[in-house]
């Protein structure tokens, strides 16, 4: 008995670029129709489309994937930091995985100790 012939070719997915080209073409047709009606209508349509695009981009939430990791509860192990009140913990911009700990000793409000340390996961 012969085995049923299976399709060796994978199913093709529609191209995203092709969809984008179709949308750009349709937008061009709409703009051409608006300008054919009247020049003022075309200009107002373009301004309205710009405002909608600006509003959508301003309302879009930023993804959390680019956000730095939250500071760990651990404090830096520095003899000078012992007994200090932790003021802030911020990620170091130029070095991935580095945190800047800022602390102040009790009773000295005009002194701040800065400690830079690599996070445990890096």
Q: In this structure, are 53 and 83 located in the same domain? A: no
Report the predicted TM-score, pTM, of the whole model to 2 decimal places.
0.40
Burial class (CB in 10 A: 0-12, 13-18, 19+), 103: buried
Number of domains in the chain: 2
Identify the domain containing residue 36 by its residue range.
Answer: 16-58
Residue 32 within a domain: yes
pLDDT in tens, 9-67: 667 777 888 888 999 999 999 999 999 999 999 999 999 999 999 999 888 876 656 66
Q: Which residue has the tokens 């445990």?
A: 120
Residues 50 and 84 reside in one and the same domain: no
Residue closest to 95 by CA, chosen among 60, 68, 62, 74: 68
Using the 3D structure, point to which of 7, 27, 58 is the last residue of a domain. Answer: 58
- pLDDT at position 77 is 63
Q: What is the mean predicted confidence (pLDDT) over 87-105?
A: 77
The pLDDT, as a whole number, for residue 4 is 57
Residue 38 placed within a domain: yes
The answer as to whether 106 is a domain residue is yes
Do 46 and 80 lie in one domain? The reply is no
């Amino acid at each position: 008995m012969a085995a049923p012939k299976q399709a060796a070719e994978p199913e093709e997915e529609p191209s995203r670029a092709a969809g984008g080209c179709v949308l750009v073409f349709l937008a061009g047709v709409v703009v051409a129709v608006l300008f054919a009606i009247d020049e003022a209508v075309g200009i107002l349509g373009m301004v309205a489309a710009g405002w909608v695009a600006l509003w959508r981009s301003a309302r879009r939430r930023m993804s959390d994937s680019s956000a730095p990791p939250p500071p760990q509860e651990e404090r830096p192990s520095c003899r000078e930091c012992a007994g200090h009140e932790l003021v802030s913990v911020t990620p170091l911009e130029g070095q991935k995985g580095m945190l800047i700990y800022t602390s102040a000793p009790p009773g000295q409000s005009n002194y701040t100790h800065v400690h830079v340390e690599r996070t445990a996961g890096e």
